[in-house]
Amino acid sequence: MPKQRITKEMVVNAAFELARDGQQVIIKNIAKRLNCSVQPIYSYCNNMEGLRDEVAGKARIFLQQYMETHIDPKDPFRTTGQAYLQLAKEEPHILKLYITSKRNNVSSLDELYRMEANPQMAEAIAQSLHISAECAKALHLHMIIYTIGLGTISSVSSPGISAEEIFQQQEQAYLAFLHTFTNT
């Protein structure tokens, strides 16, 4: 029986699956997952930081695809936040990986917003709520920050806070932030 050829893609996929399962992403565990020696893993990984960056990139893609399939196009603002919180429940390790991945060249919340947010969302919020684009962007940023906090809490709590309670808290924050931006 011929030896299986281990590819870089296989290494990254195995590392991603380990992270997704909440297991430690180390060379030994990757090799075990691939049923091979550690040698092929070392040949693709000059260092673990590079591998972590690739796994974080895979987590970002996973998150984007998840969001695309869980957002209601008729109410993208609210359902984006709800989908994010659902992801925290269903895939807590992916969320943790995504949240803790390094964001290079970010030194302000505005830069973070430009990097992380869908640029059309602020426009859609402004139109649907009849507020300025500037207020819509601020509202969106506030909800991103708040939702990340709720998602993080949800993903690390055990046995877990109910989705109903998390969504209710998110809705209350939305209404409070909205009140702030519509009464300025």
CA–CA separation, 151 and 88 (whole Å): 5
Domain that holds residue 141: 71-182
Number of domains composing the chain? 1
Is 46 part of any domain?
Answer: no
* 8 Å CB contact between 93 and 21: yes
Split at pLDDT 50, 70, 90, the class of 4 is: low
* Statement: residue 6 has pLDDT above 80: yes
In a domain, 114, yes or no: yes
Res 3: pLDDT = 58
Residue 87 inside a domain? The answer is yes
Residue 119: band (very low, low, confident or very high) from pLDDT cuts 50, 70, 90: confident
Q: Which tokens belong to 126?
A: 């402004």
**Structure confidence at residue 184 (pLDDT):** 59
**Confidence (pTM):** 0.80
Residue 167, Cβ neighbours under 10 Å: how many? Answer: 16
pLDDT tens digit sequence for 143-170: 999 999 998 898 888 888 888 899 999 9
- Using 50, 70 and 90 to split pLDDT, how confident is the model at 1? very low
d(CA 154, CA 92): 8
Domain assignment present for residue 97? The answer is yes
Say whether pLDDT at 51 is over 60. Answer: yes
| Residue 42, in any domain of the structure | no
Quick one: which H or E segment has residue 96? helix 92-100
